[in-house]
Amino acid sequence: MKNVLIVVDESESSLWLAYYAMGLTHRIAAKVSILLVMDKEYTDVNEGSDEWIGSPEKRLESVLAEDHSERTHIDFYVVRGRMEEEVPKFIRENTISKLFIGSPPTCRAESYAKLMKLIDTVNTTTHCDVEVVQKVSAHTKRH
C-alpha cells in the first residue's frame, strides 16, 4: 500500500484538495494523509486567494467528516513553519511515496516560483514522487 500525502496551505482555494483526497481513497489502495502547513510566506505569495472563513483546521475537519464510508480514512496533520522544510520532513518521517499538491490558483510568477522551489526541494531530499493537480470546474466552458 502506498503512503500518499496531500499538502494544503492556509488559502481557502486549497480546500478543494480535501475533496481530492477523499476521491483518492475510493480509487486507489493507499493510506492518505493531509498536511496543512501554516506558512505565512507561502500564503502571502498566493495573493488574491481568500483566507479561510473560520479556522482552517475546523473547515478541513468538517469536509473530511462529510464522507462516512468505511473505506475512507484520512489522517490530518497541522504544522507551522516553512513549506520547503515541513513538507520534506513529513515525507521522510512518514515514508510517503506520492505527494499531491495543488497548482497555484493565480498566474502570478511568485506563486509558481514557490511551487517549483518546493518541488525541487522534495525531489532532491526525498524519494517521493510529486504530482501537481489543478482544480477543474465542471462549469468551465471549453473552446
| Whole-angstrom distance, CA of residue 79 vs CA of residue 82 | 9
Rg of the chain over all Cα atoms, to the nearest angstrom = 15
Q: Which fold has domain 2-133?
A: Rossmann fold (3.40.50)
pTM (two decimals): 0.80
Q: In what order do the strands lie in the sheet with 98-102?
A: 74-80, 30-38, 2-8, 98-102, 129-133
| Whole-angstrom distance, CA of residue 15 vs CA of residue 13 | 5
Domain spans in the chain, listed from the N-terminal domain onward: 2-133
Tens digit of each residue's pLDDT, the chain (143 residues): 589 999 988 777 777 888 888 888 778 888 889 999 988 776 554 444 445 556 777 777 777 777 655 556 788 899 999 999 999 999 999 999 999 998 886 667 888 888 999 999 999 999 999 999 887 766 555 55
